[in-house]
Structure 1
């Protein structure tokens, strides 16, 4: 074992409500029924934060991310109240990236200005598609015109750093339709674009009742390759399996996840991962999923849905589950610092991956090859042991 070094720290804030649950969504989201308890939820978040603060005393928060659910259901005043109080409890780094997820169906005139004034400096807008038929089949509450309008409102409010979420391999989608979605997104000049393949996640409505016309594996791969080419031609570099960015505009929050950084998770169903230097341990903690139960328990041990200390045997798999999503791979010295394990702990698996042409060495870095990026899950699976 080597010494665990605390990595950069992020703060994740989960806002669990949405207007309507999308049939493909497996996130902890709950349909809005009546007026939402915005003020009470902010108080619960702060109580949750106070409860977990001893785990991160003295550390600086590098990024903040409001995820959901649909965070843009919350009024700017609620986001402002939370950030003011949180920044008095935690040290925020200068220029701290603060991202809020927004849904075009909840974008209202003046709301983006309010978020900007509250301190949010990056948006992630869930477009999914610019094709109205695809949006209807996905169960989205907005149409393509509202998507374009939301982006224009965000830009007019002063946001010069924003991500657009797109999905592909959608029900009844053709290659031409997938390419058209990319072209529409590029016309809006985002700094970052996320491009995900639709998957039927267990427990979702789509998994129980798969929609007709989902493209097969080969058709999905064609969409991915053609869209990647369009993005590259437009100056967006792929740096992670589903993430593309203009130079210098990678999502710092997600990069911290993928580099096995630490993150404090607060809110209903939020997950966190923290390196405890004094104990030389890595703790994963998650909170109660249902908003009602969370609101009643926030600030006490009863709000903790579970704690898990990562065993040394489990750490290589958890590390690779994140790091091997990055095109740049990882440095062996960083693996040692983030896991507390010597590089010899993964020597056999690395040798096997290199023999299969999945990974390559670039000095002190381990980098996925083009073949390895196509079979990411198989590469990661090499590091899953029976004792993990």
Structure 2
């Protein structure tokens, strides 16, 4: 029988981790693997390859069935979820040859799992994700992170994120760096689908774009402050949804740039919008990888970005980067890019294609199991 690959996620939401999972899932199916995705919530923003088996094990139902009282600790609750996942996988899927557990909540749950061949995939920098906890209760937080990430081998989506992990918990488990895959062919095909330019009053190659959820770490506030100081030769298009969207809309009004900033909401297929953009701007305060950078590269769109920890500096040259928080520098960089677009185009690294990334995970899994040297 073909080997089994299992991805575990909280839900198929429209973020980088979910794009990584859906892209890799298709790559494994293409080479004959049996591929399964197991989620704990029913939310599905991402389209899924029809050849991939999709499973839901709702953790809220597990809590109810276990009769966990309000005094139960989160650890007890997650241990119960892990038992349910183990039982479900063994009875409905079989013993996976490789399990890729994505996102902190899943990593914590799977620390209690007894399934073999588990690899934790870290999509961000733990020191940034747990910055407040590390400041308030450092010893307790480090102890917790050692439990979560010391149980299984860890793959990090950038070398910076891997070094960050080691600096926090030490070298207590096997680690590696495997970048997120970029399916350039699929992205190009999807970019040819009809776009929604006209309803938003947009013209092809006559706007700049920022694609991210409205979260503090994505730097929308700094982006608008910098954009307000630019020559504003082109409108700024914001694609995404999130809890801070209304706050950012209010900021645009306060800065007097509402007529130049377009809020397009979440787009299941953002690639026609990216392909038609003149420039991609990334203003994250920290990233594990920086998916939109390589997606823009796949479409030949120039990119400028904050030099945040830890992904962008591994994907872009120094001339395309500006320090986090440097509003004046970002203003100048945007104007420079608009005036000299070709100077800021960076080709996609072919090693990021899914077939190469899929093989790297298999190789790491083989090293863990002692199958190869």
**TM-score bracket, shorter-length normalisation:** 0.3 to 0.5
Greater RCO structure (CA 8 Å; 6+ sep):
1
- Give the alignment's TM-score, normalised by structure 1: 0.34
Higher strand share: 1
